[in-house]
Structure 1
Amino acid sequence: MAVSEAAANSLAHGGGKGTLRLWTAAGAGAGVVAEIHDGGLLADPLAGRRRPSLTSAHGGRGLWMIHQLCDLVEVRATEHGLTLRLHVATR
């Protein structure tokens, strides 16, 4: 669900296209990692970390949901675009 939301956000807010990479992590941090990169920008460095209002017309609920579903969400914003890395540990 988190990867689907991130991919949808990439299409809607990241220039209409993006790249999705998936891999497994071994060792103590064993799990699955999904990386989504696009040409988008992120003005608020804390986006998704604060619970958005349910009545907000500005959205933000998808990124918040991603943070709730994943064990770790890494956000990297550069002049070349936005990269999200979603980590989910295997249990």
Structure 2
Amino acid sequence: MAWARDESDRWAAAAGLSGERRTDWLLAFGEALSNSVRHGGGSGTLRMWCAGGEFVAEIRDQGLLANPLTGRRRRPDPRAATGGRDVWMMHQLCDLVEIRAAAPGLVLRLHMGLG
């Protein structure tokens, strides 16, 4: 995991994300990566790119998410055992978070504008 976070930081810096935006990026990316390792079936793929003034990371794994709107509406109870705080935090820190079911598994994309 440390390698992927370091690589994401290098890509974010090269893309031109400012210091504060890069910190937000790394927090959101770390949560996404941690979820993938914890819930994604043991393996996955990571892609990062810049397009249309955005920096994007895509994580594909074998995970499942019963509710693709998790984390979008209201802040989860921090004491709840059901979780959801990490996805909520991704939504707060990134400009756009996409979560899609894919055969088989899940695709998560984090978007952050460069401007």
Confirm or deny a common fold (TM above 0.5).
Answer: yes
Look up the SS of the partner of 2:83 in the other structure.
coil
Find 1:63's aligned residue among 72, 82, 87.
87
Tell me, in whole angstroms, the C-alpha distance in 1 between the residues paired with 2:64 and 2:96.
20
Overall identity of the aligned pairs, in %: 60
Structure 1: state its 5+ residue gaps.
Answer: none
CA distance in 2, matches of 1:64, 1:16: 23
More strand by share: 1
Q: Residue 63 of structure 2 is aligned with which of 32, 36, 40?
A: 40
Contact 2:68 2:100 in 1 (8 A): no
In 2: Cα distance, 1:15 partner to 1:81 partner:
9
Distance 1:53 1:79, change over 3 A: same
Residue in structure 2 matched with residue 83 of structure 1 by the alignment? 107
CA contact (8 A) 1:41 1:77 kept: yes
- Normalization by structure 2: what TM-score? 0.72
Runs of 4+ more than 3 Å apart: none
Larger RCO (CA under 8 A, 6+ residues apart)? 1
Whole-Å Cα distance in 2 between the matches of residues 79 and 43 of structure 1? 14
Q: Which amino acid aligns with 2:114?
A: T
Number of aligned residue pairs: 88
Q: TM-score, normalised by structure 1?
A: 0.89
> How far did 1:45 drift?
2.3
CA separation in 2, counterparts of 1:17 and 1:47? Answer: 22
